Structure 1
């Protein structure tokens, strides 16, 4: 009888996350309900995990909010991809440990197996279909609508200025899209926003609306990109109708510019951008540079061409009087500025495990800023959150998920190319608020750690969910978190305590700490779940919008 009980206990365990065993509680109404996490020692109000016994680092228990769920439903919180075949192999491996199972045990195993797994949603489908109508899409539609109306009025003869200056409208759209992606310009805009609106007297509604807008300026970039194509095509049609007033060289250059912009826009289509990001980046960069060079040629040819004599006469007085020249000059300056800050610097790369690496640089950096690094500056750039105490050095935590980040672990470089001009993103806007909840999973913690290490305008609280924290991320990351108030931090190691419902934990923590806003950094599925839960609870929340 005792042997049979042991067999039943074996059947009641399975590994739904590699290396993490959960227990099935047969007394629950749901046969797949997960039992209590491994027993931990409680001291006072803190939960001490095995890897914290020799340190002061503690994890706040959440007995009512942390509820491990099915493996497939929350796999995205462990930074691990699990498919149906993995699930079956691991489950069957546990079952096969049982020697000579009897019929009763076989029946129990069959009951435990799920009847059907929910279909897995791809990362791309979540990005494209599950975000709903966002501010990003709204800005895209507004830009398109304004340009379409102007085009229609021009074609109908109600907007004669646009009809005679169609190329200028195309260049104007290119200037706007460049401005929306200029790291130098956005750094200034973000700083001014924090300085002017980051005050207690400014209403929360204004702050959240501003955050949503600044986070979504990529919608203006995309809308103006498509609009510039429409205006350039319109300009070419008008030019071809009056061939006698232009030259074949001007028409040829204009067609080439149109082709390059079309190619660049096609490469930015989500299916290409997300599935083949390096291809998108290189096409976008080199096609854009070539189009800019040809744009200067187009303008100079257009200005200097004399239709009556079919000759070219270029003078400086003609150049300075043309708006097209000033717009193009502004575009050129915005594109050049970030490249003036490119440097090859010495780095120190260390890896606590094969899952992530820590890259250290000299010099302190303000909290909330991000940086770009590259092994080859003309081919690819990678953006990471910056961890810094604002004094002598800063570092980046790079999860090993792609070719470049994996190479940092396998063959750590001694030097990397960097852009010393760091740029502002959503994390920088934490400074707009008085009290903020930061939610991170896996290596996403890197964009928030600086707020724990150096003073900031906002009073921040943090939730971090990851697997095998000390093993995968190293002791140094844990020591950084030890420096912050333990009353404002929840760290959940899924290898020890199972997988939590991060969305539920986030909402409960936001209510408990009475925060103004929640900012999450996770993968598409994890971010989506937290944002939806916060929206249902009427808590303002922001996360990555995956537009680049």
Structure 2
């Protein structure tokens, strides 16, 4: 056997785990550069989105088995147990040293020292490590406006608010419902895309609109806090003028306040993050009970006669109250999604123990998301929709919770769905002319439709995941392969190790000259990409925890 030396770049990822990239691998998902970007120096192949911190000389790649990392606890993650990866690598290297004597191959050992990776919890990233986001800004503006109005009312400078404190509380409830109404948001997103999704509209206006629309949750939570403040204020005023109301009205108002408080506490980030099912059920049922009691409150307060301490239940008095119309609008917005709930036949297949594919009849437009449930009153799960826009659509569900794991262990024949699909951040891809989509793990599902059907945007894709064909199946791989190879970069971390996704995204955005980057990953991955793009002055967006 001839002495052969093949040089393979080896460097450290963003979390300090050493790995290799071999551009000569036959696997179609091995990472590689477009021909125009390759720069060969001797036998080296330079990949422009990486920084080589050290190199080593290894024998022919067919003698090396790919390093496979452990399955992540979250299917969108690309992280693995760092010690395990390094030990596997060292074991492989020791095997190569043993082969050196028999094959006459020169092996150069250059293992750089790496700092241990920092362990950052998802909750700390969500709450503390994202900076002052648009979500927080909208929350602060909403609460500040309400606090100022309430203070002016208490000081006597806003008499209308003092006599209509309950109306302000109900108005905030209507506003927070509007920010969560999937029917309303679907129309708003469609109008925005139609109005400013044109080449002549400035990029600054488009990115500002994207940032605002994906952060409407800030208004939702801000109005929720404000409604509690106004209701407390109204109760204080009522108790101060006790002779003009009844005990029944005060009792109902106090019950509404307790239910809204319970619903808000259940939505507190710590509870929502650690006990999502508790949050969802409490938020839903406490909200429904509060709405029912709100109707009781509106009827009683509108028909109460303080002079005779009796109730005159006439419709003419009721319809003259602004509170009646606000409550009616809120009720309609809450009921609409439930009118679209159907139990439909599905086909569920599991390419691996880590993911399942749910198939439905009917095509769906790119960028829309859907909700499914095994029990509609207890839980709903949102997934990106993969569709060519024609006969069928499907959802890719990573096995990260009880429901998604049950899809693999006991595939259902039917599921409950909301036939009205809703718009989110992926839908706003249609605003732009050229977009880079960055996905890790099962996050690819929200972007695949843009590869399968015509779109106003010219999209490019980076997908980073483990064991792509093994975990996601041949069908998903083939869907990605249908798209132009010049616009897709797929990195299998089980073969090529973990890359610096943030740096890869910035370099790809510059190379492909995109207007904006949209990423879907775990909180830390999304944060890293967004920060890197911000430093490079590239507009970038990722779904936030409570968008």
Superposition TM-score, scaled by structure 2 size: 0.86
Residue 491 to residue 302, structure 1, CA distance change in 2 (3 Å): same
1:104-159 Cα shifts (integer Å, max 9, x gaps): xxxxxxx9696862430001111111110000000000000100000000000110
Match status 1:79 vs 2:84: no
- Residue aligning to 1:248: 247
Q: How much has 1:205 moved relative to structure 2?
A: 0.4
Q: Does residue 1:225 correspond to 2:209, yes or no?
A: no
Do 2:355 and 2:408's aligned partners in 1 also have CA atoms closer than 8 Å?
yes
User: How far apart are the structure 2 equivalents of 1:319 and 1:480?
Assistant: 57
Deviation at 1:224, TM superposition (A): 0.3
Aligned counterpart, 2:513: 514
Q: Please list, as runs of the form range in 1=range in 2, the aligned pairs for 1:370-519 lying within 5 A after superposition.
A: 370-519=369-518
Deviations 1:457-515 (A, max 9, x none): 11111111111111111111121122211111111111112221111111111111111
- Structure-1 residue corresponding to 2:27: 49
Alignment-derived partner of residue 11 in structure 1: none
Shift of residue 320, structure 1, vs aligned partner:
1.1
- The 1:95–1:497 alpha-carbon spacing in structure 2 relative to 1, beyond 3 Å, is closer
Q: Distance in 2 between matches of 1:49 and 1:311?
A: 81
Inter-CA distance 33–416: structure 2 relative to 1 (3 Å threshold):
closer
Contact 1:25 1:35 in 2 (8 A): yes
CA 89–280 in structure 1, closer or farther in 2 if over 3 Å, else same = farther
Q: Secondary structure at the match of 2:420?
A: coil
Indicate how the Cα distance of structure 1 residues 478 and 182 shifts in structure 2: closer, same or farther if over 3 A, else same.
same
Separation in 2 of the partners of 1:484 and 1:440? 16
Q: Is the 8 A contact 2:29 2:491 kept in 1?
A: no
Cα–Cα, structure 1 residues 496 and 90, in superposed 2: closer, same or farther, change >3 Å? closer
1:347 aligns with 346
Summarize the Cα distance change of 1:24–1:187 in structure 2 as closer, same or farther, 3 Å threshold.
closer
CA gap of 1:245–1:137, structure 2 versus 1, over 3 A, is: same
Tell me if structure 2 keeps the 8 A contact 1:67–1:501: no
Question: Which residue of 1 is the match for residue 256 of structure 2?
Answer: 257
Residue 24 of structure 1, CA deviation: 9.9
Q: Which residue of 2 aligns with 1:286?
A: 285
Match in the other structure for 1:8: none
- Displacement of 1:79: 2.6
Residue by residue over 1:144-199, the C-alpha shift from the partner in whole angstroms, topping out at 9 and shown as x without a partner, is: 01000000000001100000000000000000000000000000000000000101
1:205-220 alignment, distance < 5 Å = 205-220=204-219
Q: CA–CA distance in 2 between the matches of 1:116 and 1:295?
A: 57
User: Are the aligned partners of 2:371 and 2:382 in contact in 1 as well (CA < 8 Å)?
Assistant: yes
1:514-545 deviation digits (Å, cap 9, x = unpaired): 11000000000110010001000000000011
- Is the contact between residue 368 and residue 430 of structure 1 (CA under 8 Å) also seen in structure 2? yes
* Alignment partners' CA distance in 2, 1:64 and 1:58: 10
Q: What's the CA shift for 1:65?
A: 1.2
Taking only aligned residues, the RMSD between alpha carbons, in angstroms, comes to: 3.0
Is contact 1:434–1:457 with CA below 8 Å preserved after alignment?
A: yes
State how far apart, in whole Å, the 2-side matches of 1:218 and 1:258 are.
21
* Aligned counterparts of 1:377 and 1:341: Cα–Cα separation in 2: 12
Instruction: Report what 2:158 is aligned to.
Output: 159
1:530 aligned partner: 529
Matched residue of 1:465: which SS?
Answer: strand
**How many corresponding residue pairs?**
502
Structure 2: runs of 5 or more not aligned? 1-7, 39-45, 55-67, 99-109
Change (3 A) 1:233 1:508: same
CA contact under 8 A between 1:66 and 1:502: conserved in structure 2?
no
Q: What is the DSSP-based 3-state SS (H/G/I as helix, E as strand, rest coil) of the residue aligned with 2:344?
A: strand
In structure 1, stretches of 5+ residues that fail to align are 1-22, 42-47, 101-110
Instruction: Give SS of 2:518's match.
Output: strand
Q: 2:493 & 2:231 partners in 1: Cα distance?
A: 54
**1:78–1:467 Cα contact (<8 Å) kept:** no
2:194 pairs with 1:195:
yes
TM-fit CA distance, 1:275? 1.2
Question: Per the alignment, do residues 50 and 369 of structure 1 end up closer, same or farther by CA in structure 2, a change over 3 Å counting?
Answer: closer
Q: Give the direction of change, closer, same or farther, for the CA distance of 1:84–1:511 in structure 2 (3 Å limit).
A: closer
Bigger mean CA deviation after superposition, 499-508 or 532-541: 499-508
- The 1:134/1:59 distance shift into structure 2, 3 A limit, reads same
| Structure-2 residue corresponding to 1:14 | none
* Paired residue secondary structure (1:520): strand
Q: Judging changes above 3 Å, is the alpha-carbon distance between structure 1 residues 215 and 155 closer, same or farther for their aligned structure 2 residues?
A: same
Q: Residue in 1 aligned with 2:4?
A: none
Taking the aligned partners of 1:284 and 1:181, their CA distance within structure 2 comes to: 13
Deviation at 1:36, TM superposition (A): 3.6
Q: Could you tell me how far apart the structure 2 residues matched to 1:523 and 1:322 are?
A: 47
Q: Deviations over 1:229-256 (max 9, x none)?
A: 0000000000000111000000000000
**SS class of match (1:474):** helix
| Cα distance, 1:81 vs structure 2 | 5.3
